[in-house]
Amino acid sequence: MKLALLSMLMGAAFSAHAGSPLPAPVDQNYPGTLVLKVDASDTVQNIFRVKESIPAKPGKMTLLYPQWVPANHGPSSPINQFAGLKISANGKPVTWHRDNVNVFAFHVEVPAGTRTLDLEYQFLSPTEANQGRTTMTPEILGIQWHAVTMYPAGYYTRRIPIQATVTVPQGWQYGSALELDERKGDDLVFKTTDLETFVDSPLFAGHYFKRYDLDPGAKIPVHMNVVADTAEAVEAKPEQLELHRNLIKQAYKLFQSQHYKHYDFLFALSDEFGGVGREHHQSSENGVKLDYFTDWNKAESMRGLLPHEFTHSWDGKFRRPAGQDVPDFNTPLQNDLLWVYEGQTQFWGQVLSARSGLQKSASVRDQIAVNAARYSSIAGREWRTVQDTTYDPIINSRRPLGWSSYQRSEDYYNEGALIWLDVDTKLREMSGDKLSLDDFARKFYGVKDGMNTALHYTFDDVVK
Ligand SMILES: [Zn+2]
């Protein structure tokens, strides 16, 4: 009897969290504003210390740590570096239970009389390179908000307001597409925005910092915010700056539209800060080696990164595959059209690198020839389509492969670009050189100039 009672009680306790269905996201305003405070000033232990208050009402509530990171194409958020979660209400501790099935969900019973839950937790930087990307060094830090933000389940993220404050190390400067309300000492107080825009607007800060205007006098400004390991490395020579300004001019000639209110390249030049290329609607995270400006002739291959990430503001962020139309950061992304999203961005990244002069035309043609040669002999083409490789960020999380030619991996980038090169040459052939993929770009990305939310598309839209 006692045993039976015990097992019944334990059963009840377990089943309460055994994959309880999460509240489905609803397209309605969240009642209240999340307030996030990130202390990013600890460059000794490299720990981001977070306090967050979430308006709540008594009863059952589920809090989520983001799982699906839009530009990363997989369920790859760094929950393994998330630690120290403590929740309280009116100064008293509140117990949380992690969902038994969905480890990104945390269930709480909000006590009577509660109007706000107070959360405390940390985001830990790796202590060794094989544990994850280094996002804080003695000179540079990068904050991807999905790594430091929890949010209530049950609402579209674009309907949840959030106000964030970040403390940076003393005297550091920063770049971000987030709009600042005011700087108080080393506290950056940002304007309230919605959670979707927030997570899409990361921040780089640094001891050595320089901000370059890439479109002087323009109504819609474009800036390059450079942080680096050394003071010398942030300095761009006038002729180098000119090539980056050409990139903006050439992109506007091609797309004939802008889908942002302002655009910020976040650009880290470092031998310690983790390399990165991640697109956002009004900004991009770019991280390459320290000698980008200082050893210019050696750096040519790195100069394809900014053209690629800038293209994404049109291809991937403004025009977005229908399968990427998700209500929150815990709903799976569908990757089947990434051969357009990434493949065509790879194509335009190469073309804009050449047209701006950031890379020599001959170098870009060589890259394309190398890819064509590689795909002419790759064994995995016998069993997998390019489209099937769009699922690799989910299947393999970008880990090394044992049999890479046979397995293939994420070929929707470079083989995707070859598809678009084929389309370009076909259009030129069939129209007697009157039409090319440039015309597709104008018709597909040049619509609704000034619209800075996503316009989704299907395969049929691309064909049309
Ligand atoms: Zn990309």
Report how far residue 445's alpha carbon sits from residue 142's, in angstroms, rounded to the nearest whole number: 30
Reading across the β-sheet that carries 208-213, which strands appear in turn?
208-213, 222-228, 263-269, 283-288, 276-279
Q: What is the pLDDT of residues 202-216, one digit of tens each?
A: 999 999 999 999 999
Does the pLDDT of residue 52 top 70, yes or no?
Answer: yes
3-state class (DSSP) for residue 367: helix
Q: Please indicate, yes or no, if residue 255 is contained in any of the structural domains.
A: no
Q: Compute the distance between CA of residue 105 and CA of residue 103 in angstroms, rounded to an integer.
A: 5
d(CA 262, CA 215): 11
260 CA to centre of ligand 1 in angstroms: 18
pLDDT at residue 21, rounded to an integer = 80
Residue 355, pLDDT above cutoff 70: yes
| Distance from residue 350's CA to the centre of ligand 1 (Å) | 12
Instruction: State in Å: Cα 161 to ligand 1 middle.
Output: 28
Report the b/e string of 392-405 with b at 16+ CB within 10 A. bbbeeeeeeeeeee
- pLDDT-derived band of residue 17, with 50, 70 and 90 as boundaries? low
CA–centroid distance, 286 to ligand 1, in Å, is: 11
Q: Look at residue 6 and tell me whether its pLDDT is greater than 90.
A: no
**Residue 190, in any domain of the structure:** no
CATH number at residue 408: 1.10.390.10
Q: Give me the mean pLDDT over the 427-440 stretch.
A: 98
Task: Reply yes or no on whether the pLDDT at 7 is more than 60.
Answer: no
Residue 32 lies in a domain: no
Residue 16 clears pLDDT 80, i.e. is over it: no
**pLDDT per residue over 181-238, tens digit each?**
999 999 999 999 999 999 999 999 999 999 999 999 999 999 999 999 999 999 999 9
**Contact, 447 vs 257, CB < 8 A?**
yes
pLDDT score at 9: 46
CA distance 152 to 49: 20
Ligand 1 centroid, distance to 306 Cα (angstroms): 10
Q: Tell me if 351 is assigned to some domain.
A: yes
**Residues spanned by the domain of 385:** 319-463
CA 243 to chain centre: 25
On the question of pLDDT at 445 being above 80, the answer is yes
What is the number of structural domains in the chain?
Answer: 1
Per-residue H/E/C for 3-28:
HHHHHHHHHHHHHCCCCCCCCCCECC
pLDDT in tens, 316-333: 999 999 999 999 999 999
Torsion of CA 340, 343, 344, 348, to 10 degrees: 160
Cβ neighbors of 451 (< 8 A, separation 6 or more) are: 259, 318
Quote the longest CA-to-CA distance of the chain: 88
CA-CA distance, 133 to 182, in Å (whole number)? 30
Q: How far is the CA of 175 from the centre of ligand 1 (A)?
A: 21
pLDDT band with cut points at 50, 70 and 90 for residue 19: low
Q: Is residue 379 part of a domain?
A: yes
Residue 429 lies in a domain: yes
Per the domain annotation, does 455 fall within a domain?
yes
Residue 396 in any domain: the answer is: yes
pLDDT given for residue 131 in this prediction? 87
> What is the per-residue pLDDT across 73-124, written as a single tens digit (0 to 9) for each?
999 899 999 999 999 999 999 999 999 999 999 999 999 999 999 999 999 9
Tell me, what's the pLDDT at 13? 43
